[in-house]
Amino acid sequence: MARVADARVRVPVDGELNSAGAKAQTPVNGEAAGGNRLAILALFAVTAAWGASFVLMKPAIERQPIPDFLATRFVIAGIILILVRPSVLANITRRVWWTGGIACIFLALGYVTQTIGLHYATAAITGFLTGLYVVGTPLLAWLLFRQSLSRKVIVAASLGLVGLGIISLNSFGMGVGDLWIIVGALFFALHIVVLGRWAPGHDTYALTVVQIVVVAVITAGMTFADGDGYVAPPDADVWIAVLVTAVFATALAFLLQTWAQSKMDASRVAIILTAEVPWAAGLSVAVGQETLAVRTIIGGCIMFTAMLIAEWPTRRKPAKGEIIPVHPLGHFE
């Protein structure tokens, strides 16, 4: 299921340093168009990796304990990002550790609860319900910091609840897996709120590395809670799931998203990243993992519409310090 903390990246102008440490050059029109096309393709590749991660993890976590799977994934992802840019270690200040550490408590809890939910639910439903973090973010920003709610957020939240009811509610109430995923979505929303409130001004790469390391430490600690210690991936299929989620859905996803946001507006990036939801549903059906019920399709479409409404850019300029309900760098699926 990796953008600066306030969910918007300012594109460097001539002479300024970009995220790779090189001076930015203003491209000519042809170069800009080509860069945009490649950026769009890169972002769709990221969403495909996120969608595929749900499908691959579903059988994997039946054979490896959830904390052990997550710990393996994030240890590998952290090592990759450090090897790609070893100089990042010099930029990890005490303030970065403090901000990343607090944010990652919510991120780690989000991953654990989401993955528990995936164990009981399907990949498609996990994708749909995880998308609730998009409408949950502005609601939590309003509850915690009294950030005003726009009309589109109210509409999106209402649609999200309708979609949730169609997907999850039945004559017996709500499934246990659905409840875990919803809790995970709330933790993801809290993670985004924390990043949006306190992370602006931090080095994005350094903050991301800290978050991955902290999630790895927290989940590694959980592996000893059952008394059995760490359990390694038991077979090749589980290792494939670990490596795809670590390399493609975490480390490479962050690098591609960082590059893409230097080429195009962050609001367009946010819209493209919602494609994760249909990828998760489509791939789970394509591999024969599930058959979507009519209510799941209808509810999922309503929730996807709610995500698009919440993410859709407006002409109004965000207020200083406003937390935007979009997928930030440093937040992973």
pLDDT (tens place) for every residue of the chain, 333 residues total: 443 333 333 333 334 444 344 444 444 455 556 667 888 898 899 999 999 999 999 999 999 999 999 999 999 999 999 999 999 999 999 999 998 889 889 999 999 999 999 999 999 999 999 988 888 888 888 888 887 878 888 888 888 889 888 888 765 667 899 999 999 999 998 998 888 888 777 888 999 999 999 999 999 999 988 778 899 999 999 999 999 999 999 999 988 888 887 777 766 777 888 888 899 999 999 988 888 888 889 988 998 898 888 777 766 666 555 555 555 444 455
Give 63: exposed, middle or buried? Use CB within 10 Å, 0-12, 13-18, 19+.
middle
* Residue 1 placed within a domain: no
In this prediction, residue 165 carries a pLDDT of: 86
Over 124-170, what HEC string results? HHHHHHHCHHHHHHHHHHHHHHCCCCCHHHHHHHHHHHHHHHHHHEE
The closest alpha carbon to 58, from 252, 306, 263, 245, belongs to 245
* Residue 9 placed within a domain: no
* Residue 54 placed within a domain: yes
In Å, how far are 192, 205, 208, 267 from 100, measured between CA atoms? 11, 11, 8, 24
* Residue 173 placed within a domain: yes
Give the integer Cα–Cα distance in Å for 331 and 267: 16
DSSP H or E segment with residue 173: strand 173-174
In this prediction, residue 258 carries a pLDDT of: 81
In this prediction, residue 13 carries a pLDDT of: 39
* Residue 143 placed within a domain: yes
Contacts with 298 (C-beta within 8 Å, 6 or more apart), sequence order: 166
**169 DSSP β-pair partners:** 174
Give the integer Cα–Cα distance in Å for 37 and 73: 30
What one-character DSSP code corresponds to residue 174? E
Domain that residue 253 falls in: 29-311
Give 286: exposed, middle or buried? Use CB within 10 Å, 0-12, 13-18, 19+.
exposed
In this prediction, residue 81 carries a pLDDT of: 95
Q: How many domains does the chain have?
A: 1
In this prediction, residue 248 carries a pLDDT of: 94
* Residue 277 placed within a domain: yes
Q: How many CA atoms lie within 13 A of 55 on its CB side?
A: 23
Query: Is the distance from CB of 137 to CB of 197 less than 8 angstroms?
Result: no
Give the integer Cα–Cα distance in Å for 248 and 102: 25
> C-alpha dihedral over 131, 137, 138, 140, to 10 degrees?
130
Q: Which two tokens stand for residue 83?
A: 């090897």
What are the backbone dihedrals phi and psi of residue 170, each rounded to the nearest 5 degrees, phi first? -140, -170
The closest alpha carbon to 310, from 197, 174, 177, 192, belongs to 192
In this prediction, residue 88 carries a pLDDT of: 94
* Residue 169 placed within a domain: yes
* Residue 240 placed within a domain: yes
Helix, strand and coil in the chain, % to nearest 5: 70, 0, 30
